[in-house]
Chains A and B, each alone.
Chain A
Amino acid sequence: VTGVAVIGTSPEALPDDKELMARHAKGDPHAFAELVQRHRDRLWAVALRTLSDYEEAADALQDALLSAYRAASRFRGDAAVTTWLHRIVVNACLDRMRRRTLRPAVPVDDAGLDAVAPKNPDPTSSHEVSLDVSAALRELPFEQRAALVLVDMMGYPVDEAARILEVPPGTIKSRCARGRARLVPHLRHLRNRRRPEHVEPAEGGGGSSA
């Protein structure tokens, strides 16, 4: 009478993150590696965008995953594993930032730029946008940058960003707002440049569409 109420748990079902953490704590040598493999792309995106520097971001991600590995047995289930991992990555980035202020800014070389702004099928547009966004983000204080990376770039809800950064949601909103306001002059040229592409009529308007 209850219909199809029971959905069998298939033995092949992938363990969720918390299950992997539990297995890791018990000594399963593959659990943490699986966890890393699952989330490393997003964690890498956070690190790279927050630091805008390939080497720094690589070091930060490595530091973060090592910390996470060592701290995993103390992980408590009251946060999502992804939230916890993101928090560790952001903190590792902050550490890197603090160290970086001790040395002059390093110009990003070509390899670094390619990493910051991955190659894509539309090199004239998105690639340049990526580079310009990356450069513009560097103008922001770390806290605003981290908030914008999580909310605007990664698309995480404000509440999730708040949990990751361990501040109230209102603080995230405020940091995002301040950050966007500061970015306007740095990104204005992209808007001006892009506009004609969008406005241009599909039918021949006569004009100078040579």
Chain B
Amino acid sequence: VNAAHLDYETLADLAEGILDGPRAASANAHLTGCATCQEREAELTEVSRLLAEVPAPTVPAELVSRIDAALAAAVAETPASGGARRWRRGHVVLAAAAAAAVVVVGGGTAFLQTSGIDRQTAGGSAEGARPPSGVPADKSQQPGASSSGLTLRAGNVTRSGTDYRKSRLAAQVADVRGRALGQRRPGGPGAASESAPGILSTQLAGCVHRIGNGRTPLLIDQASYEGARATIIVFPGRPDTFDVWITGLRCSSGTSDVIHRTEVSRTK
């Protein structure tokens, strides 16, 4: 039996079972008869116990928002071919690749000016989450690049650029809807390839389904309301009205985020 005491490293290695055979045997032989080394062994065990006892932290709320914003900015930099371009909180701005979960509505929005879309995109959300300055996020995607065309089915998603006002809602809805209808007429030469399609993200689809309770919308316009970004969703109302919902950017299958709802008369 070795009379020399075991140092902490040897004891720790012993406990982990990583001492080789002869050294382990020798250490064990010493340990059995040595109170000092048993005490040291207990101290080592206590270290692990103390470490395990430290309560786990949770991510502070401010860090959660900071990371959300950073991810949103990264999303804005993502090249068009890499997936979808979105703004804060994952709202899809322009779809790029043919993602299975995304319905691209092409051909209906040729009246939109390309620059108008760029402005909208670059302006980001009213919440101030923008691509980092100096990053020409909008150059990474040419408008219309995604119009490889999936389905034209779940209603029309428009980006009219309209700033809807409560006082003028009826006229504005009628106007945008009229323009969308006018552009959607089949056979318009080259309409699909020239337009920048609006897209119906899974989130927006969930939102529309939630607030419409399954009804098919007449119009979905990702625009603004009283100066703040909003989605205007119009369902058929009574025979002479539109059922107009104005939702914020968080609207999804799980939350409504309704800013305003009203029925307006169908002006003609």
* B116 vs chain A, min Cβ distance (A): 23
Asked if A129 and B53 make an inter-chain contact with CB atoms under 8 angstroms apart, the answer reads yes
Answer yes or no: A184 CB below 8 A from chain B CBs.
Answer: yes
Answer yes or no: B99 CB below 8 A from chain A CBs.
Answer: yes
Asked if A29 and B59 make an inter-chain contact with CB atoms under 8 angstroms apart, the answer reads no
Q: How large is the interface on A (under 10, 10 to 19, 20 to 34, 35 or more residues)?
A: 35 or more
Separation of A187 and B99 alpha carbons in the complex (Å): 54
Interface centre among B54, B91, B201 (most CB of A within 10 A): B54
Stretch with Cβ within 8 A of A (4 or more), from B15-23, B117-125, B185-193? B15-23
Answer yes or no: A191 CB below 8 A from chain B CBs.
Answer: yes
Contacts of A81 in B (CB 8 A): none
Answer yes or no: A61 CB below 8 A from chain B CBs.
Answer: yes
Partner of B52, one of A45, A116, A120, A152: A152
Answer yes or no: A197 CB below 8 A from chain B CBs.
Answer: no
Asked if A29 and B47 make an inter-chain contact with CB atoms under 8 angstroms apart, the answer reads no
Answer yes or no: A141 CB below 8 A from chain B CBs.
Answer: no
The number of residue pairs between A and B whose CB atoms lie closer than 8 Å in the complex comes to 146
* A116 vs chain B, min Cβ distance (A): 7
Q: How large is the interface on B (under 10, 10 to 19, 20 to 34, 35 or more residues)?
A: 35 or more
A-contacting residues, B83-117, CB 8 Å = 83-84, 86, 90-92, 95-97, 99-102
Contacts of A65 in B (CB 8 A): 67, 70-71
Answer yes or no: B66 CB below 8 A from chain A CBs.
Answer: yes
Known: A29-B92, A44-B58, A126-B53. A62 touches B66 (CB 8 A): yes
* B100 vs chain A, min Cβ distance (A): 6
Asked if A184 and B71 make an inter-chain contact with CB atoms under 8 angstroms apart, the answer reads no
Partner of B63, one of A44, A49, A148: A44
Answer yes or no: A32 CB below 8 A from chain B CBs.
Answer: yes
Answer yes or no: A153 CB below 8 A from chain B CBs.
Answer: yes
Enumerate 19 A-B pairs (CB-CB under 8 Å) in ascending A order. Answer: A27-B83, A29-B86, A29-B90, A29-B202, A30-B203, A33-B71, A40-B67, A44-B63, A45-B56, A61-B63, A65-B71, A129-B54, A133-B54, A152-B48, A152-B52, A153-B51, A181-B9, A182-B8, A188-B43
- Additional 16 contacts, C-beta under 8 A, given A58-B63, A191-B43: A26-B83, A26-B99, A29-B90, A33-B90, A40-B67, A41-B58, A45-B56, A65-B67, A116-B57, A130-B55, A173-B17, A174-B13, A177-B12, A181-B7, A184-B44, A187-B46
Interface residues of B (CB under 8 A from A): 7-9, 11-13, 15-18, 40, 43-44, 46-48, 50-60, 63-64, 66-68, 70-71, 74-75, 82-84, 86, 90-92, 95-97, 99-102, 201-203
